[in-house]
Amino acid sequence: MTGSTPPDPLAPYRGGAYQRLLAAARRSLERTGGSLEATIGITAPREDERQAIIGITGQYRDASVKRLTVSLAAVDAAMRRGCGLGLQAVLERIHARPLDDRPAERAAEAAARRQAMDIAHASAAAPEPWFAQWLAEIGSDGTLTKLVRAGEEKLLHQAVRVLDTLHRRSPGQPPIPIPSLATDTTGYPKTLNQGTLPTLVLRALALRHELPRPKTAEERRSLWDMAEVVVDDLASHVLVLNLPSEGDGLGRWLSDAAHHGMPFRAMLYQLVTMPIIPITTGPVFVCENPAVLRRAAAHLGRYAAPLICTEGRPATAFHRLANAVTAAGGTLHYHGDFDHAGIAMTMAAGKRHAATPWRMRRQDYLRGLSRTEDRYLLSKVPDATPWDPTLARVMAEHRIAVYEEAVTDDLLVDLAHRNNLPD
């Protein structure tokens, strides 16, 4: 008879009597990688389910039993007798998808994690404590697992290449624009603009500089700046007072501003495109807070010693200008807040620019402490102050931050007598 449909050998297993049984069987097989050694069960079985299990096992099961169990091997054997297919084949046909092999997936995932970590550990930065901490964190908090499961391990490899590039850069090299860094390390100019890759890199840079993970655009830009990566050469700037310089454009503007004793904000774009040679005949002072520079301009004007203000954590523009000062034979004298960040930046300025700490000794802290009305507890005590070991000890004793506003009068004394530095 033409046109007739052959009977479906799986029809008995498509009904409601087998739905819960087959779902339990699938979960077990996927969990064990296809093993038939386990036993599955149904709680509060319906009558049709009880009859199905009796048919599989050939054993009577009382209707009062609250849970019925059956071995997967028995289910497999019954299906082979009934339709000629094993349990796995029946499940894949009825559910229209292959079984997952969870053990194999876990093994492949673990292998991918190991391979990604092996590549990362080959980095030139691997011996650095911050890099090791970064790898440990992303390996333990689910970040690496998420990348592996999404098939995006390459993002970790790219992050390592970015960090490698930054780690290998020598002090004094020109800052690198972020599109160039992205192109050099990933092949595309926009990969570090947003997304998982820059998040991974900035997370490592935050550990490198002992800072919290960045949450705002300004914090992200600041971290890039500290790594000498220019996100926006118009947004990176430095505030200057009385630093006459040679050079077309910017050099002339700085000299004109110094002649009038006026503050001048120099952008990184200007410092790169219009190089200057500062004219230095004495010390060049550096402060952290613009309130200090504002008072110097207001009280001393053109007679104040050259003063550069970082306006908080130094940006790439500051480092560019500081390099120009030292290249011209000038010396930098750095003052910051008496807190953990201020001490860290003072030490960093010393290492990077040979800057001498300026009024950053024990007696300066105590004098500022006596003038501080609003007491802010130190969230973290400085580990060491090599230029004056007693400073770290007295800060640990008092645990109070002293900000530049409290010592500005002392700073102005030095700025008014540019050649008379304190002991």
Element (H, E) at 109: helix 102-121
Percent of the chain with pLDDT over 90: 67
2 — pLDDT class (breaks 50, 70, 90): low
Count of CB atoms situated within 10 Å of the CB of 420? 11
**Which two three-digit tokens encode residue 188?**
């595309």
pLDDT digits 0-9 by tens, 244-270: 999 999 999 999 999 999 999 999 989
- pLDDT digit string (tens) for 75-130? 999 999 999 999 999 999 999 999 988 888 888 888 888 989 998 999 989 999 99
In order of 150, 301, 355, the CA distances from 325 in angstroms are: 49, 21, 11
Among candidate residues 46, 48, 43, the one with its CA nearest the CA of residue 15? 48
At 423 the pLDDT is 47
Nearest-10 Cα torsion for 10, 15, 17, 20: 90
C-beta of residue 240 within 8 angstroms of C-beta of residue 266: yes
* β pairing state of 264-267 and 237-241: antiparallel
Mean pLDDT of 321-341: 95
Q: Residue 96 and residue 346: Cα distance in Å, rounded? A: 66
To 5 degrees, how large is the angle CA 322–CA 328–CA 332? 40
pLDDT of residue 247: 94
Mean of all residue pLDDT scores within the chain: 91
Give the model's pLDDT for residue 211. Answer: 86
CA dist., res. 121 & res. 125, Å (int): 8
The predicted model scores a pTM of 0.62
What local confidence, expressed as pLDDT, does residue 5 receive? 73
Average pLDDT over residues 183-197: 93
User: Tell me: the pLDDT tens digits for 197-222?
Assistant: 999 999 999 999 888 898 888 788 88
Write down the pLDDT at residue 155. Answer: 94
pLDDT digits (tens, 9 = 90+) for 4-17: 677 888 988 998 99
Question: Taking a C-beta distance cutoff of 8 angstroms, is the pair 228, 176 a contact?
Answer: yes
Q: What is the mean pLDDT of residues 167-187?
A: 87
Q: Which residue has the higher pLDDT, 357 or 32?
A: 357
Closest to 343 measured CA to CA, from 278, 293, 389, 410:
389
Can you give the pLDDT at residue 228? 84
pLDDT beyond 50 at 274: yes
In sequence order, what DSSP letters do the residues of 352-387 get, joined into one string? HH-PEE-S-SHHHHHHHHHH--S-EE-SS--S--TT
DSSP 214-270: P-SHHHHHHHHHHTTEES-TTT-EEEEES--EESTTHHHHHHHHHHHT--EEEEHHH
Quick one: average pLDDT of 362-372? 93
pLDDT at residue 1, rounded to an integer: 47
Mean per-residue pLDDT, 367-380: 86
Average pLDDT over residues 288-313: 96
Which amino acid is present at 384?
Answer: A
Distance in Å from the first CA to the final CA of the chain:
112
Instruction: Summarize pLDDT for 133-165 with one digit per residue, the tens.
Output: 999 999 999 999 999 989 999 999 999 999 999
- Angle subtended at Cα 420 by Cα 320 and Cα 340, rounded to the nearest 5 degrees: 55
